[in-house]
Structure 1
Amino acid sequence: MRRLVYYIGVSLDGYIAGPNAEFDFYPVSDQMAAWINARYPETLPTHIRKLVGLDGVPNKVFDTLVMGRGTYEPALDVPTTSPYSHLRQYVVSSTLKIDDPTVEVETGDPIELVRRLKAEDTGQDIYLCGGGKLAAALLPEIDEIILKSYPVVAGTGIPMFSGEFRPTLFT
């Protein structure tokens, strides 16, 4: 069975973005960039893959991406409606309208979406790209968390999990 993997960049104090969804304050070292490019090239948006010479590199771990509206919307500034065209893309939102056949908007229960995706036999996992509210909603279905820990303190912003108090053990 496929796994849902929350692969996310996070500050030392647990924030995945600033209060206005900014993430440009995260220092990406050459070493971290090389690690991402080698291990998880599919986690880079399509336009970035082209810039760093990874266009056409096969997906290694993930073939499907699930993200919330707040994670998706900055892509519209690039501008693109399909920020990860090398992956199957699902945006969880009850109000978003997208006119792009490569991006599916899930208006229903995100848990049910993930359970359907996990039941597929594709040989690759599902990338939970963010954000914090969606991660909290999907917490019972998250099988693994991979943190890209950045040596910076944000002070405030969007937490890695933004939901109710629910201690959950990962081993």
Structure 2
Amino acid sequence: MRKLIYYVAVTLDGYIADPDGAFDFFPLEGDHGPWIVENYPESVPGHFREQLGLAETPPRVFDTVLMGRATHQVAVDEGLSSGYPHLRQYVFTSRPDDLPTQEGLTITPEDPVAVVRRLKAEQSGLDIWLCGGGALASTLIDEIDELRLKINPLVLGDGIPLIGAAAAKPGASAMPLARRMSREFESGVTYAEYVRSA
């Protein structure tokens, strides 16, 4: 069965973006960059792929990407219909009619849990990438199989958390994880993989 993997950059204090949703403070330069491009070539946005020599590079880990409206809006604000035209992309929003569309891009108000369960049940394909944001991760917390984090040597103090506050509802259970591996880079970035341990 396909897995849902939350693969995202995060600060040391657990934020994936600042309070306004910006994430351009995460360092792109450094020895972690080439490693990420080599291991996750499909995570490079479509408008950068050709200049990095990735135009013909097939996906290695993911063939489908999921995101909330705010994450997708970054591409829209750049004049793009899709940030990841080389992947099957789902954008979850309560206002699907005011976003541009293109082939391979599904903009939907459907329940994300139902969509993920359907995608997981597909008989073939690579894994599913949850790339943001924190509110969508909160909604999908029971469906997340792995966290793969690019932990950056930054402290924000405030912003959009890795998992939105809705997950902390009364009676919510913890999500126990086991670290499968980690790698430290000279840039100060640490890449770490966590899987559900129960």
TM-score range, shorter chain: over 0.9
Q: Point out 4+ residue stretches in structure 1 off by more than 3 angstroms.
A: none
Give 1:62-77 correspondences, 5 Å limit.
62-77=62-77
Rounded to whole Å, the distance in 1 between the matches of 2:51 and 2:22 is 21
Q: Which residue of 2 aligns with 1:18?
A: 18
Higher RCO structure, 1 or 2 (CA under 8 Å, sep 6+): 1
Q: Which residue of 1 aligns with 2:175?
A: 168
Structure 2 counterparts to residues 1-171 of structure 1, below 5 A: 1-97=1-97, 98=99, 99-162=101-164, 163-165=166-168, 166=172, 167-171=174-178
> Structure 1 stretch 87-96 or stretch 47-56: which is displaced more?
47-56
Q: Which residue of 1 aligns with 2:186?
A: none
Judge which range, 86-95 or 101-110, deviates more: 101-110
Identity %: 46
Unaligned runs of 5+ in 1: none
Q: Distance in 1 between matches of 2:177 and 2:139?
A: 16
Q: In structure 1, the residue corresponding to 2:145 is in which secondary structure?
A: strand
Task: Tell whether the 8 Å contact from 2:2 to 2:121 is kept in structure 1 after alignment.
Answer: yes
* RMSD, matched Cα: 1.2
Q: After the TM superposition, which of the residue ranges 124-133 and 41-50 deviates more from structure 2?
A: 41-50
Greater strand proportion: 2
What stretches of structure 2 of length at least 5 have no aligned partner? Answer: 179-198
SS of 1:82's partner is coil
Give the distance between the partners of 2:68 and 2:26, measured in 1 at CA.
Answer: 20
Distance in 2, matches of 1:50 and 1:77, equals 20
- Greater C-alpha Rg: 2
Task: Write the distance in 2 (CA, Å) between the matches of 1:156 and 1:138.
Answer: 22
Query: 1:153: how far off?
Result: 0.6
Amino acid at match of 2:32: M
Structure number with the higher helix fraction is: 1
- Give the drift of 1:106: 2.2
In the TM superposition, what is the alpha-carbon distance from 1:102 to its structure 2 partner? Answer: 2.4
Q: Which amino acid is 1:53 matched to?
A: G
Q: TM-score, normalised by structure 1?
A: 0.95
Q: Decide whether the 8 Å contact of 2:139 with 2:167 is kept in 1.
A: no
